[in-house]
Structure 1
Amino acid sequence: MSTDPGLRRLALHTLLAAFPGHTAPGWALELLSEGLAGHTLFGTNVGDPGQLAALTAELRTARPDVLIAIDEEGGDVTRLGHRTGSAYPGNAALGAVDDPELTRLVYAAIGADLAAAGVNLNLAPTVDVNTADDNPIIGTRSFGADPALVARHAGAAITGLESTGVAACAKHFPGHGATVTDSHLELPTVDVPLGLLRERDLPPFAAAVAAGAQAVMSAHIRVPALTGDLPATFSRAALTGLLRGEYGFRGVIVTDALEMRGAAGVAGSIPRAAVAALAAGADLLCIGADVDRALVEAVAAEIVAAVGDGRLELGRLEGAVARTAALAAWSATPRPAANRDDELGVAAARRAVTVEGSPAELRSPLVVQLVAGYSIAEGRVPWGLKPHLNGTEHIELVAGSTTAEAIAAQAGNRPIVVVGRRIHSSPAGRELVGELAATRPVGVVEMGWPSDWRPEGTRAFIVTHGASHANGRAAAEALGLAH
């Protein structure tokens, strides 16, 4: 195996690592000085604003042009707001409002928050067209199910975000919206003709390129008509042929986390996944969240070995490094906003709320929040109405572990408001709401991807199009329950 230090430095310059904690360990700083492109920050790295700004400043002492990436989509996927929920509604809410100028303003505000924290690469926006109602990983992260709507909001989001000097990364190419499995856990397949992909999934990526997105993220999904048996991340036809050749993208192709089963599970290891992605045309490789120095060194060594044995052309590696360096230069000076509008997020969330029926019939209720799971992309982030209530009693329970009679006994003569995420997808949740509505005034607040389900007898049905802190505030206001 070659130990060429020049090749090792090139290999490191294609990698985004990660580390735990509120301060950077020595190895994370040392690798930056030795060529590592940067780090991705997660909720475990984020405490208060002062701590986060100090952390990013510390990273810049090791490498002034370091790429500091984060998943800050607003809505249900937030790292800055992982302790409270995001101050901004997410894409589904913005798509429901369908005001591209509002989307631009919200993403400019997100960008300003990131710039103030010293983050210069946002792994957002999600521009997948969510055509599968039961999609377990996209859902409210999408602007909607209509390609034209998603495309216009993709462009607005990228324009707003990049106005702050924070690079945008449109994801997940060539479109994760039609999947019904999670690429964190397996390799999803979208078995459709290429013509349908062009009509349904690809228009938002064309809009992202036109809007000047500095980066596009590849998806660990298989599209047989385009990628054969491989995920798009390993497909030269997808990355080099379609994204670069046909759509004319000249920025950085970033991979989704290589530790995911849709990548490492296919390649056999994270280092092998890294080589396959580079050979296909990727430039910047997200290793994942669970990273240490040994893993980074193993990935770099495999890339060096691949150049030596012909699996990876040196020119391809050098091209990836050149693009990554250009991105680092473009995003070297993110610009915090001079004046922050603290009400923007809630104002946007209010516009996204839809109210059917009569909330006036639900005065002084018992609020029942149904415990819901969360995707790996979201993580465990607080949600719901509780932080916003004016003293109204609030309980949390699992739909399948209680009865309508028990809830009714606790409510006494009060109405009941049931709050949930994708209640329609839970047989126990649907049954519980139906039984309660048969005996007393009941309202529903749906904070997940909406559906046509409307339980018989409910007095009001409220849809927030997301579960951010801002969405919760808007829902509490719509019910007249906000403090």
Structure 2
Amino acid sequence: MTQPLGPVMLDLEGPKLTAAEKRLLLEPTVGGVILFARNVENGYQVRQLCSDIRRVRADLLLAVDQEGGRVQRIKEGLTRLPAMARIGECYRTTPEEGLLLAKDAGWLLGMEMAACGLDLSFAPVLDVESGLSSVIGDRSFSSDPQHVVQLGSAFIQGLHDAGMAAVGKHFPGHGGVAADSHVALPVDDRPLEVIKQHDLVPFTQLASQLDGVMPAHVIYSAFDTRPAGFSPTWLGMLRESLGFKGCVFSDDLSMAGAHEAGDPKARAQAALAAGCDMLLVCNDRAAALDVMDACQGINTKRPAKLRYSRARPDLDALSALGRWRRTHAKLEALADKPQTSAETE
């Protein structure tokens, strides 16, 4: 039977657990850990770190942002993943090959993350590129919503082939605003019908395939005055209209785009009230402690269902798999490929 987890996902200071962190992870409000580049030396060290975390709390959900391109925390000893726009370019020229590569990329990512001891990567990015957002850009598969749907679906299938959950972000779409929600609160003033027919399309069509969703710290003023991650209206649509039944992760509550909701405790309460299951609080330990205090007595089973439940592959044995060798070579070649003019327009 799946046991409940606390709703708070924390970060760590460095590549090894400190004594203070070991004590912190034992707090019942903590349900997971997210790794950043500062926690990473190579794949083997990450595997050891994950093992050390599990010795403290075996039930914690361990996550990372490993999308490819510029968002890739674990580099040494693993495949250099291209930005997803490179796969989108393959799809535009040869759809069948592009879909196969997207599926294989999801599988390889899932296998490598599992071998490192992690439960999930926050992927795929389902934002539709519009040429406006510097924070999304080539993280998106495409500027065509249907291309994002097709490639996103294939990527999700690959993750599932590897036994790993798929977490789509950033609902209902971060690609239509120029501001970066890490440092500002973006406002998307487009009519709701425009968003529904463009940015929301991948989430609408893929909701049933996703195990998790991360909403954007963006206000869509035609629908709600609150950022999507603090909006019962948006998350209600996700659950009711789109039929999503998985786990909703808040984006980092320390980001500037989250400050609209108030102090750390107020942000936590607003995110939970809106329908988030797990709250990320990163790069601000004082805020994390405040959020933990606000979450006393709260837990949920949804995040626990995303734990990696298969026998983990051996990091050293992956190269013996023909699928890994073929996919590794293709992805590394794409990672070296210059950006095409079509992708910069």
The TM-score, its normalising length taken from structure 2, stands at 0.88
Once structures 1 and 2 are overlaid, which stretch shifts more, 336-345 or 52-61?
Answer: 336-345
Q: 1:441-479 deviations in whole A, cap 9, x for unaligned?
A: xxxx54798234xxxxxxxxxxxxxxxxxxxxxxxxxxx
Shift of 1:50: 2.0
Counterpart-to-counterpart distance in 2, 1:172 and 1:449: 24
Q: 194, 198, 203: which one pairs with 1:196?
A: 194
Q: 1:149-174 deviations in whole A, cap 9, x for unaligned?
A: 00111111111112222222100001
Shift of 1:208: 2.8
3-state DSSP of counterpart to 2:59: coil
Q: 309, 323, 326: which one pairs with 2:305?
A: 326
Counterpart-to-counterpart distance in 2, 1:33 and 1:285: 17
1:360 is aligned to none
Aligned residues of 1:139 and 1:449 also touching (Cα < 8 A): no
Shift of 1:46: 0.8
3-state DSSP of counterpart to 1:167: coil
Q: Is the radius of gyration larger for structure 1 or structure 2?
A: 1
In the TM superposition, what are the counterparts of 1:449-464 in structure 2 within 5 Å? 450-452=343-345
Aligned residues of 1:257 and 1:285 also touching (Cα < 8 A): yes
Counterpart-to-counterpart distance in 2, 1:171 and 1:346: 27
Counterpart-to-counterpart distance in 2, 1:221 and 1:52: 32
1:262 is aligned to 257
Shift of 1:254: 0.5
3-state DSSP of counterpart to 2:343: coil
Aligned residues of 2:149 and 2:206 also touching (Cα < 8 A): yes
| Corresponding letter in the other structure for 2:21 | A
Structure 2 residue runs without a partner (length 5+): 92-97
Q: 201, 213, 216: which one pairs with 1:216?
A: 213
Counterpart-to-counterpart distance in 1, 2:60 and 2:206: 24
Q: 18, 34, 49: which one pairs with 2:27?
A: 34
| Corresponding letter in the other structure for 2:211 | Q
Counterpart-to-counterpart distance in 2, 1:21 and 1:333: 28
Counterpart-to-counterpart distance in 1, 2:38 and 2:19: 17
Shift of 1:17: 0.2
Counterpart-to-counterpart distance in 1, 2:17 and 2:115: 19
Counterpart-to-counterpart distance in 2, 1:343 and 1:252: 33
| CA distance 1:219–1:334, shift in 2 (3 Å) | farther
Counterpart-to-counterpart distance in 1, 2:269 and 2:38: 28
Structure 1 residue runs without a partner (length 5+): 1-9, 305-313, 353-382, 386-444, 453-483
Q: 1:243-278 deviations in whole A, cap 9, x for unaligned?
A: 001001110000111110000x21232222111100
Aligned residues of 1:118 and 1:334 also touching (Cα < 8 A): no
| Corresponding letter in the other structure for 2:159 | L
The TM-score, its normalising length taken from structure 1, stands at 0.64
Aligned residues of 2:80 and 2:331 also touching (Cα < 8 A): no
1:251 is aligned to 246
2:95 is aligned to none
Q: 1:72-98 deviations in whole A, cap 9, x for unaligned?
A: 0012210111x6996122210111111
Shift of 1:224: 1.1
1:95 is aligned to 88
2:295 is aligned to 303
Sequence identity (%): 33
3-state DSSP of counterpart to 1:34: coil
Structure number with the bigger relative contact order (C-alpha 8 A, sep ≥ 6) is 2
Q: 1:396-455 deviations in whole A, cap 9, x for unaligned?
A: xxxxxxxxxxxxxxxxxxxxxxxxxxxxxxxxxxxxxxxxxxxxxxxxx54798234xxx
2:114 is aligned to 115
1:146 is aligned to 144
1:106 is aligned to 105
| Corresponding letter in the other structure for 1:451 | T
1:225 is aligned to 222
Counterpart-to-counterpart distance in 1, 2:23 and 2:161: 32
Counterpart-to-counterpart distance in 1, 2:321 and 2:336: 29
Whether 2:174 is the aligned partner of 1:281: answer no
In the TM superposition, what are the counterparts of 1:417-432 in structure 2 within 5 Å? none
Residue-pair matches, total: 330
The root-mean-square deviation of aligned C-alpha atoms, in Å, is: 2.5
1:380 is aligned to none
Counterpart-to-counterpart distance in 2, 1:178 and 1:85: 32
Counterpart-to-counterpart distance in 1, 2:339 and 2:103: 25
Q: 1:268-292 deviations in whole A, cap 9, x for unaligned?
A: 322221111000000011112x143
3-state DSSP of counterpart to 2:62: strand
| Corresponding letter in the other structure for 1:47 | E
3-state DSSP of counterpart to 1:37: strand
1:184 is aligned to 182
Shift of 1:296: 3.0
Runs in 1 of length 4+ with deviation above 6 angstroms? Answer: none
3-state DSSP of counterpart to 1:216: strand
Counterpart-to-counterpart distance in 1, 2:55 and 2:139: 34
3-state DSSP of counterpart to 1:322: coil
In the TM superposition, what are the counterparts of 1:433-452 in structure 2 within 5 Å? 445-446=338-339, 450-452=343-345
| CA distance 1:182–1:447, shift in 2 (3 Å) | farther
1:22 is aligned to 15
Counterpart-to-counterpart distance in 1, 2:160 and 2:117: 14
3-state DSSP of counterpart to 1:73: strand
